[in-house]
Amino acid sequence: MDPRTPCLIGIAQRTVREQPGPEPLDLWESVAREAAGDARLPVERLDSIQIVWTDSWQYDSPVGRLADRLGATPRHRVYSKVGGTAPHLLIGAAMAAIAAGELDSALVAGAEALATRRAYRKAGEHVPWSHPADPKPPYGWERPPHPSALAHGLVLPVHTYPIMETARRAAAGLTIEQEMRERARIMAPMTEVAAANPHAWRRTAREPRELGDRFVGWPYTRDTVAVLEVDQAAAVVLASTALADRLGVPPDRRVYLRGWAYAEDAWEVAARPALGSSTAIARAAEAAFERAGLTLDDMNALDLYSCFAIALRQACDAIGLDPLDPRGLTVTGGLPYAGGPASDYVLHSTATMAGLLRAQSGHGLVTGVGMHLTKHTYAVWSSEPGGRLGDAAPVHVAKEVPLVESCEGVGIVAGYTVAHGRDGAAEKGFLVLDVPGGRSYAVVEEAALLAEAEERELVGERVRVTSDGKLNVATW
Q: Where in the chain is the domain with CATH 2.40.50.840?
A: 409-475
Residues carrying CATH 3.40.47.10, the chain: 6-132+227-382
Burial class from Cβ neighbours inside 10 Å (0-12, 13-18, 19+) for residue 198 reads: exposed
The span from the CA of 11 to the CA of 364, in Å, is 16
The pLDDT, as a whole number, for residue 306 is: 98
Sheet with strand 105-113: strands edge to edge = 6-15, 231-240, 105-113, 48-51, 76-79
How far lies 471's CA from each of 46, 151, 272, 442, in Å? 51, 6, 20, 7
Cis peptide leading into 157, omega within 30 of 0?
Answer: no
Distance, in Å, from the CA atom of 176 to the CA atom of 220, rounded to the nearest integer, reads: 11
Strand order, beta sheet including 301-303: 256-264, 375-382, 363-370, 301-303
pTM, two decimal places: 0.97
Name which of 361, 351, 315 is nearest 91 in CA terms. Answer: 351
Q: Would you say 320 and 90 are in contact if contact means Cβ atoms under 8 Å apart?
A: no
- pLDDT for 141: 87
Q: Which pLDDT tens digits describe the chain residue by residue (476 residues)?
A: 899 999 999 999 999 999 999 999 999 999 999 999 999 999 999 999 999 999 999 999 999 999 999 999 999 999 999 999 999 999 999 999 999 999 999 999 999 999 999 999 999 999 999 999 999 999 998 888 999 999 999 999 999 999 999 999 999 999 999 999 999 999 999 999 999 999 999 999 999 999 988 999 999 999 999 999 999 999 999 999 999 999 999 999 999 999 999 999 999 999 999 999 999 999 999 999 999 999 999 999 999 999 999 999 999 999 999 999 999 999 999 999 999 999 999 999 999 999 999 999 999 999 999 999 999 999 999 999 999 998 889 999 888 999 999 999 999 999 999 999 989 899 999 999 999 999 999 999 999 999 999 999 999 999 999 999 999 999 99
How many CB atoms sit inside 10 A of residue 468's CB?
9
| Closest-CA residue to 166 (of 430, 437, 360) | 430
- CATH class assigned to 6-132+227-382: alpha beta
Alpha carbon of residue 387 to chain centroid: 25
Which CATH architecture describes the domain 409-475?
Answer: Beta Barrel (2.40)
CA atoms within 13 Å, Cβ hemisphere of 36: 23
